[in-house]
Structure 1
Amino acid sequence: MKEENGSEFTVLENKNIGRNFSAFRKLRDKKALEVADYLGMSEANYTKYERGENKITIDLIQKVAEFLKVDPLQIVSSQPGHVIENLTGSPVAIQTNSTFQTTNEKQNEMMLTLMQEIVEMNKALRKMIEDKK
């Protein structure tokens, strides 16, 4: 089922991603208000994203992931209940199947775009670091 506003994510996917926002936020011991302040919105508006009531965009996923220091792909691809604390010292680990599958072609395109943007950001960061040497 698509959202009425034509969102690329279905309502169910918005809810899963929103739950992951909440799970990663709690693992990072952050309050919803802290994330909302970082995003420049009210806490009430941000919690609507966590509940899957607002349209979740790639830009929002990237900003939340940046604040929480989590790979944005983990936020998108983690299944509810599979976000766990890693006992080896890493703050977050993800249990997922070996592949991420979806039947939604538009979501596949958005995932590819998100991955390409992450690669480009990494290239830019690498260049900045090299330029400082």
Structure 2
Amino acid sequence: MSDPSQFKEALLDNQSIGQNMMVFRRLRSLKAMELAFHLGISEATYTKYERGETKITVELIKKYADYVQVDPIHILTIKPGQLIEYLYELEKRKIQMESNQFDSLIEILQELKNSNDVLKSLIKEAIV
């Protein structure tokens, strides 16, 4: 079985977790007041979590992650500097996916054009 202490090193400190919470909240264009309401706490209490002034519990992370739609592991383990890199990679994958979808669309349109050309030929032959 794994040594639990190895995971402790992977977890961030309270302040870094709070920074991640703030970044993910802003990425979703959410207000601190909205998140506080969802979590059942005051806005002042919530902002203390973001500043790392209050101990962040696992239960809070679960509720937060569910509402913000982010993997709780990312909140707990991605260092703030890595978060920017992570988000950049996500954006790159999104663009790449959109590019792949664009290529698929071009292929479909080309097949439709070819089918249309075949139909035109068949109609001409039937008329003549």
Alignment-derived partner of residue 48 in structure 1: 48
Corresponding position: 1:61 with 2:61: yes
RMSD: 1.9
Measured in 1, the distance between the counterparts of 2:37 and 2:94 equals 28
Structure number with the bigger relative contact order (C-alpha 8 A, sep ≥ 6) is 2
Aligned partner letter, 1:20: N
Q: Secondary structure at the match of 1:66?
A: helix
TM-score by length of 2: 0.58
Aligned partners of 1:19 and 1:80 also within 8 Å = yes
Tell me the percent identity: 50
Alignment-derived partner of residue 26 in structure 1: 26
TM-score by length of 1: 0.56
More helix by share: 2
Alignment-derived partner of residue 89 in structure 1: 94
The structure 1 segments of at least 4 consecutive aligned residues displaced by more than 3 Å after TM superposition are: none
Single out whichever of 77-86 and 64-73 deviates more from structure 2. 77-86
Q: Deviations over 1:30-83 (max 9, x none)?
A: 111111010011111100000000111110111110110000000000101222
Question: Post-superposition shift, 1:89?
Answer: 3.0
Give 5+ residue unaligned stretches, structure 1.
1-7, 91-133
Q: Secondary structure at the match of 1:82?
A: helix
Give 5+ residue unaligned stretches, structure 2.
1-7, 96-128
Number of matched pairs = 80
